[in-house]
Amino acid sequence: MPELPEVETVKRSLTPFLRGAQIKNVEIFFPGIIKEPEPALFKEKIKDKMIIEIKRRGKYLLFSLNEDLTMVIHLRMTGQLTICSRDLPINKHTHLVFELDSEKELRFTDVRKFGLVYLVPTGRWEGIKGLFNLGFEPLAEDFTFAVFAELINNKQGKLKPFLLDQRKVAGIGNIYADEILFEAKLHPQREIKTLTSEEIKTLFLSLRAKLEESIKHRGTSKRDFVDGRGEKGNFQEKLQVYGRGGEACNRCGNTLRRIVVAGRGTVFCPHCQKN
């Protein structure tokens, strides 16, 4: 699933093509991807709307339109949102095609059909539960160490489930939870209440650093992820633990171990990340 760095990469790669563009029409090949309003009304309401800007909130893309509307898209597991020439053949897994006044098209392709699309009044996220309940944006200026410390101090539970909880910190998924914890030298099953002040500070800095580093390298393309131009990211070449169970730790040379935490495959170094 695309996580914060991948969704941010899509946003940045699409913005030069879409800011100020007008949606002339939309072709809907799989109506089930549209969650609100019903597909016929979606098609009617979005026609001739102008894209003012693209924002990101956690793993969601928010297309600000005129007339105080926002199109909200969640790529979920395998969603791809790409800008294409109109003469490019349409992939069999393409479910939405937005015709633009620039003679280009914005296409939503999703092999698994798990993606979500909404068209709602701007700011009215109540019907989009995942978006409405999102926690702090981890790269925002107001997400300071003091805010993070108050969020995590003396909480019950283990570290990795905390990082994956979108109601606390938005946008972190399985890839970056593993990478952040390795960077911070913290075990994914460490009890939060046992963390020292110094460890909390290290975790906060690691969290920011790993997300920023991945954005710099345009996200992780382990399987399906591509940016808005259809190009893969490069951060998979920088991964220290995710997907590397059984391989040697780049830090100490010991064998990386794979376990399951909170129902998610988890890779860590038992030497560098002692519990």
The answer to whether 238 and 213 have CB atoms below 8 angstroms apart is: yes
Which of 17, 3, 20 lies closest to 230, judged by CA?
Answer: 17
pLDDT at 268: 98
Q: Which helix (H) or strand (E) holds 70?
A: strand 69-74
Residue 148 in tokens: 């993070």
Residue 153 in tokens: 């101090």
Which of 44, 104, 36 lies closest to 73, judged by CA?
Answer: 36
Percent of the chain clearing pLDDT 90 (strictly above): 97
Q: Which of 132, 167, 195 is the last residue of a domain?
A: 132
Does residue 138 sit within a domain? no
Whether residue 262 sits in one domain with residue 150: yes
Residue 134 in tokens: 């999102």
The 10 Å CB-count burial string (b at 16+, else e) for 149-183 is: eebbeeeeebbbbbbbebebbbbbbbbbbbbbbbb
Cα 132 to Cα 126: distance, rounded to the nearest angstrom: 6
pLDDT at 1: 77
Q: CATH number for the domain including 215?
A: 1.10.8.50
Predicted confidence band at 222 (pLDDT cuts at 50, 70, 90)?
confident
From the candidates 11, 35, 43, 59, give the one annotated as an active-site residue: 59
Whether residue 165 sits in one domain with residue 106: no
- For 3-22, how does the pLDDT look when each residue is reduced to its tens digit (9 = 90+)? 999 999 999 999 999 999 99
Whether residue 125 sits in one domain with residue 12: yes
pLDDT at 103: 86
Predicted confidence band at 44 (pLDDT cuts at 50, 70, 90)?
very high
Could you write out the three-class secondary structure of 74-111?
ECCCCEEEEEEECCCCCCCCEEEEEEECCCEEEEEEEC
> 257 an active-site residue?
no
Does residue 204 sit within a domain? yes
Q: Which of 66, 97, 132 is the last residue of a domain?
A: 132
- For 150-170, how does the pLDDT look when each residue is reduced to its tens digit (9 = 90+)? 999 989 999 999 999 999 999
> 92 an active-site residue?
no
Residues 6+ apart with CB under 8 A from 127: 36, 118, 120
Domain housing 153: 145-268
Which of 76, 74, 17, 85 lies closest to 51, judged by CA?
Answer: 17
Does residue 262 sit within a domain? yes
From the candidates 45, 185, 201, 264, give the one annotated as an active-site residue: 264
> 2 an active-site residue?
yes
Does residue 257 sit within a domain? yes
Whether residue 177 sits in one domain with residue 63: no
Q: Which of 132, 155, 178 is the last residue of a domain?
A: 132
Predicted confidence band at 240 (pLDDT cuts at 50, 70, 90)?
very high
pTM, to two decimals: 0.96
pLDDT above 90: residue 124: yes
CA atoms within 13 A on the CB side of 189: 16
As a whole number, the mean pLDDT across the chain is 97
Whether residue 12 sits in one domain with residue 121: yes
Torsion, Cα 248 252 255 259, to 10 degrees, reads -110
Whether residue 254 sits in one domain with residue 150: yes
Whether residue 154 sits in one domain with residue 122: no
Residues 6+ apart with CB under 8 A from 39: 28, 31
> 3 an active-site residue?
yes
Could you give the angle at which helices 4-18 and 197-216 cross, rounded to 10 degrees?
40
Predicted confidence band at 228 (pLDDT cuts at 50, 70, 90)?
very high
Q: CATH number for the domain including 90?
A: 3.20.190.10
Does residue 76 sit within a domain? yes
SS3 237: helix
SS3 199: helix
Instruction: Report, as an integer, the average pLDDT of 89-106.
Output: 96
User: What is the total count of domains within the chain?
Assistant: 2
